[in-house]
Chains A and B, each alone.
Chain A
Amino acid sequence: EVQVVESGGDLVKPGGSLRLCCAASGFTVANAWMSWVRQAPGKGLEWVGRIKSNSDGGTVDYTAPVKGRFTISRDESRNTLYLDMNSLEIEDTAVYYCTTVDRTTAWYVAWGQGTLVTVSS
Chain B
Amino acid sequence: DIQMTQSPSSVSASVGDRVTFTCRASQIIRSTKLAWYQQKPGKPPKLLIYAASSLQSGVPSRFSGSGSGTDFTLTISRLQPEDIATYFCLQANSFPLTVGGGTKVEIK
Q: Which residues of A contact B (CB under 8 A)?
A: 35, 44-47, 50, 61, 63-64, 97, 99, 104-109, 111-114
User: Which residues from chain B contact A109 at a C-beta distance below 8 Å?
Assistant: 47, 56
Chain B contact residues: helix, strand, loop or mixed:
loop
User: Which residues from chain A contact B46 at a C-beta distance below 8 Å?
Assistant: 111
Q: Which residues of B contact A (CB under 8 A)?
A: 35, 43-47, 50-51, 54, 56-57, 88, 90, 92, 95-102
Q: Are B44 and A107 in contact (CB under 8 A)?
A: no
Q: Are A105 and B56 in contact (CB under 8 A)?
A: yes
Q: Are B92 and A111 in contact (CB under 8 A)?
A: no
Q: What CA separation (Å) do A99 and B98 show in the bound complex?
A: 15
Q: Are B54 and A105 in contact (CB under 8 A)?
A: yes
Q: Are B95 and A50 in contact (CB under 8 A)?
A: yes
